[in-house]
Amino acid sequence: MFRSLLVLVVVALAADAKKLASYIKPCKRDDPNLNECAKKNGLEAIPFLLKGDKEYKNPSLSPLLLPRLDVDAGANLKITFTDVTLRGLETVDFRDIKINLDKKTIFVQVALKALNLQGHYEIDGRILVLPIQGNGPCNLTFEDLVVNYGFKYELVKKEDGKNYINPNIKPDVTYTMKNVHFQFDNLFNGDKTLGDQTNKFLNENSGDINKDLGESISQTISAVVTNIIQLIVAVVPYDEIFI
């Protein structure tokens, strides 16, 4: 099982209603080209979202700083990343969006050319047939990452009488990835020969291994996207998003 622990912000469910940020433009519900409108507006909003927004408590995403990231692949492998710096979100390409207001579903596909993770790791277990153990600095690069993010939403009426999207979003996420490059320093208590051989093995077999680590990164991106969506929909009325 994969899980990511991402402590970024707390959603203010009781916050006063806010107007939609100027860089997030609404779309008309009866627009026959609703998906195209949402994609165009989404592309225009990305640079502003990357910078962060104090009013909505959105953190800066370029780079994104994560205190902790856990990868739990069952009994065979456990990795903990701490003091993580994630770079590359600025390469995001908003490829597709599908909105169904009747079914209350939203699907988004985004692509990233390269996502780089640097920080401190602690690893223990087995990757494929290889035992692996160590702790120290790490540098991982995920190339040509495509993330599919979809969720079903419900509307809730607050005390102000206005409808909001329920921020309790449970997305479905899938991903594809072209390649992963691994560099774990100080494996096996600093045994350089064994460490170099292990890093070489990981990189030569990255196609099989990226499912272990790549999904955790995908889930981290999912958590970031979900937090941003939650912070906006918790304080902006539904009628301000779809007019």
Predicted TM-score (pTM) of the model is 0.76
Do the Cβ atoms of 230 and 11 come closer than 8 Å? yes
Cα distances (angstroms) measured from residue 84 to each of 75, 87, 136, 198: 24, 10, 12, 22
Beta-carbon contacts of residue 161 (< 8 Å; ≥ 6 apart): none
3-class SS of residue 212 = helix
β-pairing verdict for 172-184 and 130-152: antiparallel
Q: What pLDDT shows up at residue 74?
A: 67
Tell which wins on pLDDT, 154 or 19: 154
pLDDT digits (tens, 9 = 90+) for 47-91: 887 888 887 777 788 888 888 888 776 678 888 999 999 899 888
What's the whole-number mean pLDDT along residues 141-168?
A: 89
Phi then psi dihedrals of residue 211, to 5 deg: -65, -30
Per DSSP, 189 falls in state G
Share the mean pLDDT of the chain: 83
- Pick the closest to residue 179 from 210, 152, 157, 151 (CA basis): 210
Which range (19-23, 58-62, 150-154) has the least confidence? 19-23
pLDDT digits (tens, 9 = 90+) for 162-207: 888 888 888 888 888 898 899 999 999 999 999 999 999 999 999 8
pLDDT at 13 over 90: no
What is the DSSP annotation of 79-112?
EEEEEEEEE-GGG-EEEEEEEETTTTEEEEEEEE
Most confident by average pLDDT, 20-24, 175-179, 235-239: 175-179
Q: What pLDDT shows up at residue 220?
A: 66
pLDDT at 3 over 60: no
Question: Domain-by-domain residue ranges, the chain?
Answer: 34-241
Give the type of residue at 25: K
d(CA 108, CA 148): 6
Looking at the domain 34-241, which fold is it? Bactericidal permeability-increasing protein; domain 1 (3.15.10)
Most confident by average pLDDT, 1-5, 12-16, 90-94, 197-201: 197-201
Most confident by average pLDDT, 36-45, 62-71, 134-143: 134-143
- Pick the closest to residue 130 from 209, 191, 183 (CA basis): 209
Q: How many Å separate Cα 71 from the centre of its chain?
A: 14
